[in-house]
Amino acid sequence: MSKPRSQWQDVHGIFLLNKPKGITSNLALQKVRRIFNAKKAGHTGSLDPMATGLLPCCFGDATKVAGLMLNADKTYIAECIIGSQTDTGDATGTITKTSDKTKLTDEEIQTACDDLTGDIKQIPPMYSALHHEGRRLYDLAREGKEVVRKARDITIHSFKLLNNDKANIQTLRFEIKVSKGTYIRTLLEDFAKACGTYAHMTSLHRTQLGILTGDNMISLNDLTLQTNPFACLQPMDIALIEYPSYTLNQAQLQILIHGLRFETELEPKVYRLYDHQNKFIGLGESQPNGQFKVKKLFLKSYQS
C-alpha cells in the first residue's frame, strides 16, 4: 500500500544497493524508497530481475545526477554454461540449441575474448525492452515472433576469464567491462559461437557503474536492520568526482543562483561547485570566452 503524500519527506543522496536476484530494478528502488520515505526517487542503469549487484538509488536532487550516469561504462561478473543456448539468452529461458562441445581450451577462450574486445557491433536480443514499431521486443518474442534488429555500436573495454574449472568445465566465469547498451547475455552467446559451440548466461552481478563501485553497496536486508538508515546515504557529489572542484565566493554564488554569468580565467571545462563552507551546490561550466555559467544546480538539497 502506498504511503499518504504527507508521509513522504525530502531526502537527498545516493544509496548504493546490492540488488537482490528475482525482482525488477524498479521494485528494488521502491523498497528502498519506502525505508527512507523519500518524496522523489530514481535509479541509474536497470538490472534484469535475475541480475544482482550495484544499483545506485538516487533521492531528491540526486535524481538530477542519475541522468549524468546513464551513459557510464559498467563492469560485471558473469557466468555462463557452455553447450546450450536458450531463447532468452539466460537461465530464465527454454533451451533451444545444444552442442556436444562443452570443453574449451584456454587458448580458444582467450582468442574469442580478444576478438570480442574493443569497438564491435552487437545485434540486440529479442528478449529486450527495445521498441519495434511501438512494441517492446520481448512482447513480440513471447508471441513467438522475431523481427530484424539493427546492429548497434558498442565497446567492450575488457573481457577477462576468471576461471576455467576443469572439474566443472561447462561453467565459465568472466569479468567484463562494457559501454552503455551492451547485452552481456548476447556477448556470451557470441563468445560461444566464436568457439564453435553455444552458451547461455546463468548469473550476472554488477560491480561498477561509472566511477561508482560496489565496495560500499548494502543489501536490502542489511538496510532494514539499520537503526539509522540515513547513515547509509552517500552524498550526491560522489558520482561527480571525475569533474574538478571549484569553490565559489559569495558574490559568484549569488550570480549563479540568479541564472547569470561571471568572468573567469578557469580552463574551459565542467566543474563541481562548492560554497565557502564546502557545501556542494551543483555543476558549472567555464566557457572558452571566459564566461562561467550554470550547468546544473541542486538548490533544494543546498538550502535544506
Supply the DSSP symbol for 28: H
Q: In whole angstroms, give the CA distance from residue 177 to residue 197.
A: 23
Q: 181 and 113 in one domain?
A: yes
Q: Which of 172, 251, 201 is nearest to 47 (CA)?
A: 201
48 is annotated as an active-site residue: yes
Q: 57 and 90 in one domain?
A: no
Q: In whole angstroms, give the CA distance from residue 28 to residue 220.
A: 8
pLDDT band, residue 166 (cuts 50/70/90): low
pLDDT higher than 50, residue 287: yes
Q: 105 and 84 in one domain?
A: yes
Annotated catalytic residue: which of 48, 87, 190, 237? 48
pLDDT higher than 50, residue 276: yes
> If you average pLDDT over every residue of the chain, what do you get?
91
The more confidently predicted of residues 126 and 37 is 37
Q: What stretches of 169-219 show up as alpha helix (H) in DSSP?
A: 184-194
Question: Which phi and psi (to 5°) does residue 268 adopt?
Answer: -60, 110
User: For residue range 41-54, what is the model confidence (pLDDT) as tens digits?
Assistant: 999 878 999 999 99
Instruction: Please name the residues in contact with 248: beta carbons below 8 A apart, sequence gap of 6 or more.
Output: 256, 273, 274, 275, 276, 281
Is residue 182 a contact partner of residue 157, using CB atoms and an 8 Å limit?
Answer: no
Q: In whole angstroms, give the CA distance from residue 42 to residue 78.
A: 25
The more confidently predicted of residues 64 and 82 is 82
- The pLDDT value given to residue 165: 63
With cell 523481427, the residue in question is: 147
Q: 106 and 228 in one domain?
A: no
- List the domain range (segments joined by +) for residue 123: 74-209
Query: How far is CA 227 from each of CA 34, 53, 223, 237, rounded to the nearest angstrom?
Result: 15, 23, 9, 25
Q: 172 and 78 in one domain?
A: yes
Q: What is the arithmetic mean of pLDDT over 259-280?
A: 95
Q: Which of 209, 225, 260 is the last residue of a domain?
A: 209
Q: In whole angstroms, give the CA distance from residue 10 to residue 130.
A: 33
Q: 32 and 82 in one domain?
A: no
201 forms bridges with which residues in the sheet? 80, 90
Q: In whole angstroms, give the CA distance from residue 45 to residue 67.
A: 10
Q: 141 and 14 in one domain?
A: no
pTM metric for this prediction: 0.89
List the single range of 143-147, 289-293, 296-300 with lowest mean pLDDT.
143-147
- Single-letter amino acid code for the residue at 139: D
Q: 82 and 204 in one domain?
A: yes
Q: 204 and 100 in one domain?
A: yes
Q: In whole angstroms, give the CA distance from residue 14 to residue 238.
A: 9
pLDDT higher than 60, residue 5: no
Q: 109 and 218 in one domain?
A: no
Is residue 124 a contact partner of residue 136, using CB atoms and an 8 Å limit?
Answer: no
Query: How far is CA 49 from each of CA 23, 34, 46, 53, 78, rounded to the nearest angstrom?
Result: 5, 20, 9, 11, 15
Supply the DSSP symbol for 90: B
- The pLDDT value given to residue 1: 47
User: For residue range 110-148, what is the model confidence (pLDDT) as tens digits?
Assistant: 999 999 999 999 988 877 777 777 788 777 778 787 778
Q: 203 and 78 in one domain?
A: yes
Supply the DSSP symbol for 276: T
User: For residue range 145-161, what is the model confidence (pLDDT) as tens digits?
Assistant: 777 888 999 999 999 99
pLDDT higher than 90, residue 108: yes
User: For residue range 194-244, what is the model confidence (pLDDT) as tens digits?
Assistant: 999 999 999 999 999 999 999 999 999 999 999 999 999 999 999 999 899
pLDDT higher than 50, residue 186: yes
Count of positions (residues) in the chain: 304
Neighbours of 206 (CB within 10 A): 22
Neighbours of 176 (CB within 10 A): 24
What is the total count of domains within the chain?
A: 3
C-alpha cell at position 178 = 562494457
